[in-house]
Amino acid sequence: MISFNNDYGQTAHPAVIEAVIKAQGETFPGYGEDEACDAAAQRIRSLCGAPGCQVHFLPGGTQANLTLIASVLRPHQGVLCADTGHIASHETGAIEATGHKVLTLPHQDGKITPAQIQDFVARHRADDTREHMPQPGLVYLSNTTEFGTVYTAPELNALSACCRQLNLPLYLDGARLGYALAAADGQLSFSDIARCCDAFTIGGTKQGLLYGEALVITNPALQKDFRYHIKQRGGLLGKGFLMGLQFKALLQDGLYLSLAQSATTQALRIRHAFTAQGIPLFCDSPSNQQFPILTAGQMASLANAFIFARMMPLDDNRWLARFCTSWATLPQEVDQLLKAIQKLDSIKA
């Protein structure tokens, strides 16, 4: 079986593993206060053109999200987010468990717009009973989104301007940031993200590391005491140096973006194969996740040789499926999938 199930199903890129192996026999200070974490953080500051930003390494994406969000919000505040956003749909109420409601806005292809944020906040502020509801205190986006779509630089500029005008910090969940940057094909950079957002993550788990996310806090007002917050949320790893070693290797010589680019190239081959067969895609994803709409027969045929996600049944007896490429996907694996997609011609039901 060839897996297109997700982008975190393999160990790590050899350069990352090698960096960990090379450290065999060395002794490191604990809790991320080591030279590898310092060097990786410095590399991130320089990639982002943000010398004053704080960089923290946390083991998981959910943990990074809840730690940042709970640290920013006051007790009566909630976080605005697309109704399909990861914190709203796939984190088991982790944000709510910190005491803060996720305030959802209807998505368009996984995204939200400045007009929606403006409208929500204006209605809240004009409501005589507003003190009976959570106050919007932060905006959450992810890039790529849950549907693999990508916020472009102009879209992020507009969202950032809107949030600043409303005095709301903007947080971008970058569990798949590399895939977003690769899909944007040079039109979006780490420094655009750092300029537009008050805080964001650079994903490692889905981008070639064993595990780990880098949380970057650009807004000095959000930086105070942040390591206390990480520790209280269980994210301050004794062996934090392992994330420093891994990120340092992944961010060397353009490896992060070149791995993401390779995944994107392979995903676009898959997308073209589905459209060439007249099989519709749920949305126009330019990144490593593709969402074809398949009949039960088509799904069963592909499931003979490939692992992929059955996202949900649709009203007309068809299914929304997800094919996900990763930094590790081989062109030969995609060749085999393309052959199988070409054979779907005969299966309509």
Ligand X SMILES: Cc1ncc(COP(=O)(O)O)c(C=O)c1O
Residue ranges that bind ligand X, judged by CB under 6 A: 60-62, 65, 86, 142, 173, 175, 205
* Pick from 270, 263, 272, 264: nearest CA to 337: 270
In the complex with ligand X, the residue whose CB is nearer, 175 or 294, is 175
* CA atoms within 13 Å, Cβ hemisphere of 194: 22
Contact by Cβ (8 Å): 249, 210: no
**Least gap, CB of 2 to ligand X (angstroms):** 21
Q: Please name the residue ranges forming H helices in 73-113.
A: 86-89
The whole-angstrom separation of Cα 217 and Cα 86 is 20
| Nearer CB in complex with ligand X: 85/166 | 85
Give the Cα separation of 200 and 163 in Å (integer): 15
Contacts of 168 (CB under 8 A, 6+ apart): 80, 117, 121, 136, 137, 138, 139
| Least Cβ distance, residue 173 to ligand X (angstroms) | 5
Do 156 and 189 meet the contact criterion of CB atoms below 8 Å apart? Answer: no
User: Nearest approach, Cβ of 94 to ligand X (angstroms)?
Assistant: 8
Residue nearest ligand X by beta-carbon distance: 61
In whole angstroms, the minimum distance from the beta carbon of 328 to ligand X comes to: 17
Nearest-angstrom CA–CA distance, 210 and 84: 27
Least distance to ligand X, CB of residue 28, Å: 23
Nearer to ligand X, 65 or 298 (CB): 65
**Shortest CB 68 distance to ligand X, Å:** 11
CB atoms within 10 A of CB 219: 16
Residue 152, amino acid: T
Q: Output 7 or 121, the one with its CB closest to ligand X.
A: 7
Rounded to a whole number of angstroms, the minimum distance from the CB of residue 200 to ligand X is 11
Cβ-based neighbour number of residue 35 at 10 Å: 14
Identify which of residues 13 and 318 has a Cβ nearer to ligand X in the complex.
Answer: 13
**43 versus 86: smaller Cβ distance to ligand X:** 86
Toward ligand X, which CB reaches closer, 7 or 192? 7
- Residue whose C-alpha is closest to residue 285's, from 147, 180, 86: 147
Residue 252 phi, psi dihedral angles, 5° rounding: -90, 140
